[in-house]
Structure 1
Amino acid sequence: MIYVDADACPVKAEIERVGTRHKVQMFVVSNGGIRPSPNPLVQTIVVPDGPDVADMWIADRATKGDVVITGDIPLAARCVENGAQVLKHNGEPLTTANIGNVLATRDLMADMRAADPFRQGGGKPFSKADRSRFLDALERALRAAKG
């Protein structure tokens, strides 16, 4: 199965295309505002408003053999701990080998932003190369999940 943390996910169409090719059930989870897909393999899950409700829904279900797509690092850590494969939107895998460092970096950056309210910037824009890297990574993850 594929679980998608759908709020602010720039690769929903790509996930659906690759998941359909592999005939994998997909759960697109959000707090609402996402148009449901007519694809029978895609189930749109709308959770109640609240902090981390969509994340908890995914983390409570994702396990070994599943693929989770998220940019949320704490959610990724829980899913990695449960044995799921986790991919960021740019195709970067989050694994037991790197999730600790990624969490630490996230916390450090949050502290830096809190200490300097005038700090500008954010992430770099999502590029065609990111989309291509994501498609390749998702393809590999689904093959590995089947094997």
Structure 2
Amino acid sequence: MNDATPRTAQVWVDADACPAAIREILFRAAERAQVPVTLVANQWLRTPPSRQVRAVQVQGGFDAADDFIAERAGAGDLVVTQDIPLAARVLERGAEAVDPRGVRYTRDTIDERLSMRSFMEELRGAGVQTGGPAVFHARDRQAFANQLDRWIAGRRHG
């Protein structure tokens, strides 16, 4: 393969905590737009028969899936993750990042999100009950689908 061959932009999914509804949206988009989608998880994942969708099961510790994605995601790729440190890592590599609720991570907002995450961890470490994530709603699915469509459209025009 020639080094000048442009790489194909793809979607990387931090799949251990990705809601099934979001995976379904990604599976449909992979076929419709012929976009490669790679789900990375610590466990085996069922995927539809597709040339565009693959699942990678990583072995190892807590951040094995994050490390796998961070080492491979590059400019033009989209990373789907709820993990703020992973989002920061892939943004540094030129990838785009979005959470399953459709909230984009950007270079302008990632430092604030990392600080808030650290603050919440400190509170939990001190025994403060901070509650869990909000319930996942249809509007979250729609917001994610909208962000994915924007990324796909930008990929076609980029």
* TM-score category of the 2 structures, normalised to the smaller one: over 0.9
Task: For 1:1-147, list aligned pairs within 5 A.
Answer: 1-10=10-19, 11-117=22-128, 119=129, 121-146=131-156, 147=158
Contact 2:123–2:130 (Cα < 8 Å) also in 1: no
Q: 1:60 to 1:138 in 2, by over 3 A?
A: same
Do 2:35 and 2:52's aligned partners in 1 also have CA atoms closer than 8 Å? yes
Paired residue for 2:5? none
Unaligned runs of 5+ in 2: 1-9
Say if 2:78 and 2:98, in contact at 8 Å, map to a contact too: yes
Show structure 1 runs of 5+ residues with no match: none
The separation in 1 between residues aligned to 2:120 and 2:132, in whole angstroms, is: 10
Q: Is the 1:37–1:44 contact (alpha carbons within 8 Å) kept by the matching residues of 2? A: no
Deviations 1:72-99 (A, max 9, x none): 1111000011010100000000011111
Given that 1:64 and 1:83 are in contact with CA atoms closer than 8 Å, whether structure 2 keeps it comes out as yes
CA distance in 2, matches of 1:38, 1:122: 34
- Alignment partner, residue 4 of structure 2: none
Using the TM superposition, give the Cα deviation of residue 35 of structure 1 relative to its aligned residue in structure 2, in angstroms: 1.2
Q: For CA contacts below 8 A with separation 6 or more, give which structure has more relative contact order.
A: 1
Structure 2 counterpart SS, 1:32: coil
- Work out the percentage of aligned pairs sharing the same amino acid: 38
**Rg (Cα) greater in structure:** 2
Task: Specify the code of the residue in structure 2 equivalent to 1:91.
Answer: G
Identify which range, 91-100 or 33-42, moves more after superposition.
33-42
Instruction: Kindly provide the CA deviation profile for residues 30-75 of structure 1, in whole angstroms up to 9, marking residues without a partner as x.
Output: 0113113311100110110312001000000111110100001111
Q: Compute the TM-score of the two structures, normalised by the length of structure 1.
A: 0.94
- Tell me if structure 1 keeps the 8 A contact 2:37–2:54: yes
Aligned length: 146
CA contact (8 A) 1:90 1:130 kept: yes
Match of residue 7 from structure 2: none
TM-score of the pair, normalised by structure 2:
0.88
Point out 4+ residue stretches in structure 1 off by more than 3 angstroms: none
Q: Secondary structure at the match of 2:55?
A: strand
